[in-house]
Structures are given as structure tokens and as C-alpha cells.
Structure 1
């Protein structure tokens, strides 16, 4: 039996895209965490947007947390939720800026076992196209912790929408499939 491989870049891109789409069809168990000193469940529009987008794409929201921007509390929830076999991904929003109270990045960065540097780089690039040089203030990050993927996004709705629609939702199935290999 002979396998035909096309060297045409568009065909290769299409084949990779179909492979990723196959993985994206599987429901992913997700935890959504909002880190904010000012939001309440009623005013957490970014957390609600993440949950809605995940559910619209067929993923399961296992849990939702609204936490103060306290590194110990963030790490405690990460530790607890990564012990749950149903959880494949954690999506955190808020606390990625540079103000004194923004400490989500430090909490996450301290525990990541492998970093997905491309996520933060792509997020800032896409943000730059929308908001200009202010994109450099974002410390959005992603990586792996205890066999789960962790995404940390800014808390603004526009940043959440950009990250979810252009980066996370297209790749989350593929990332989780890679983690289970």
C-alpha cells in the first residue's frame, strides 16, 4: 500500500486543520476561575462569557470560582481542581496586569511544569493589532500543571473574547488530546 503525501502547503495545512478539528469535537472538562477584588457573580461578565463560549462549543464547565486576587487562594483552587479526573483545562481571567494587586501571573507561573509560551506571544500580538502598544502590559500565559492545561487571561471582556475565539477554542481539544498521549 502506498501513501500519497502532497507537498502543497495548502493541502498540508488542511490536513492538519482536519486533525485538530477531530480532537476539538470531544467535550473538554473545564474549570473557570475569575480573579478579582471588585467583581461579584452578577458583575463577572468575563467569567460568564468564558462559560457561555465553552458550553456553546460543547465543552463541560465542571466548576466556576470567583476569587480575590490572592496567590495562595488561586494555588489552592488549582491544586484541588487538578485532583479531579473530570477536569482537563482551567481557564483563569483577571489579575494579569501590572498593578500592585495583579498577582495571578505569579501564582500561575510558580506552578507551571511546562509553559506554552506561544499562547502569551500570540495573545499579545493579536491584542496589539486591536489596542496597539498597550498590549505589552498583558501577562497572559498558559502552560501545563499536573496533566492539565491552564490558561490565564486578562479580565476584560474584549481580551477574553479574543483569547477564547482565536486561540483557546480552536486548540483546546488538540492540546488535551496531546496531554492524554
Structure 2
């Protein structure tokens, strides 16, 4: 197993043709991650298919980043298959992330915020986070959860601290 570099982050965007705002969430997240000190944010785009998502995750993890964020495919629709593609690969799952995400999404988006199947966990020593692909959901996740849990403040009990300390 290769140890991930925690200053590297990867984003996989599960593409849905015809969506005007697909890239807005990715651009927003790349900017926030850069501000948080992630020097390299690699991005990929993948079709809405379990096989394509798994293949791309495997390729990204062959040189593991500290954090992998997957945008899109977490809704209740038939083509939303990100959880089915990635959850079987997780070694650990952080259920509290989903709970908090739903709480904040419900506050800003109302009942539609509860339909997301967003999740977080780890594959080996890489933090894996799956979010809806729309900008408002990503802003909620960054503002209320990720900006804290992905910070380099190792004095706090964060996902980044817990996962990085498990490697030592």
C-alpha cells in the first residue's frame, strides 16, 4: 500500500450531460482546497456508470491523494450510482458525516436536502467523500464540515488528523 500525500487532493466529477452547473461545484471546491493548503488538486470527469466510477477511483488511488472527493451521482435517481460504485470499496465509513450533511442541507435546501446519499469514509489511508454535484450542496458541505475536517490543524479531532495519525 502506498501512503497518500496529504497535501494532494483529487476530485472526480460524475458527469450528467445537460447540467449547466456541473463545473461550478468543482471550481468552487478546487478554490477552497487551494486556500486550505492543498497544493495539487487533480480533477477527472467520469460517466454515470458503476464500472467507470470504480475504474477512475482505482486509477486515482494508484498514486493515493490524502483526500478524494467525488461530486455527483448521490441522488435517488436510477442513474445516481456513486454510492453503489464506491461504498463497497470503503474500509471505514463515517456515518456522522452523512448525518451532519443532511442537517445542513435540510436547513438550506429544505426537504430535497434529505434525498442525498452523500457519504464519507476511507479507502486505505485516503479520505473519500461523495457529495451531490450541485454548487449549493458543495458550499454547505465545505462551510459547515469540510473546511474544518480537512484543515491542517492537527490539534483538533478531524478526519484529516485521525486518518493521518493512523499511518504512524
Residue 22 of structure 1 corresponds to none
TM-score (norm 1): 0.78
Change (3 A) 1:130 1:44: same
How far apart, in 1, do the equivalents of 2:18 and 2:8 lie? 24
Q: State how 1:1-181 maps to structure 2 within 5 Å.
A: 28-38=7-17, 44-85=23-64, 87-172=65-150, 173=152, 174-179=158-163, 180-181=167-168
Largest Rg, 1 or 2: 1
Deviation of 1:77 after TM superposition, in Å, equals 1.7
Mapped contact 1:115–1:144 kept (Cα < 8 A) = yes
Shift of the 175–107 alpha-carbon distance from structure 1 to 2, 3 Å rule, reads same
Does structure 1 conserve the Cα–Cα contact (< 8 Å) formed by 2:34 and 2:41?
A: no
What's the Cα RMSD here? 2.0
Deviation at 1:127, TM superposition (A): 0.9
CA pair 56-39 structure 1, distance change in 2 beyond 3 A? farther
Unaligned runs of 5+ in 2: 1-5, 153-157
Q: Which runs of 4+ in 1 moved over 4 A?
A: none
The alpha-carbon distance between structure 1 residues 113 and 170, as it changes in their structure 2 partners (threshold 3 A), is same
Structure 1 runs not aligned, ≥5 long: 1-26
Q: What is the TM-score with the length of structure 2 in the denominator?
A: 0.83
Q: Secondary structure at the match of 2:73?
A: coil
The Cα shift of 1:97 comes to 0.3
| Alpha-carbon distance between aligned partners in 1 of 2:92 and 2:130, rounded to the nearest angstrom | 14
> Cα 1:110–1:81, aligned 2, differ >3 Å: closer, same or farther?
same
Paired residues, number: 154
User: Is the 1:95–1:104 contact (alpha carbons within 8 Å) kept by the matching residues of 2?
Assistant: yes
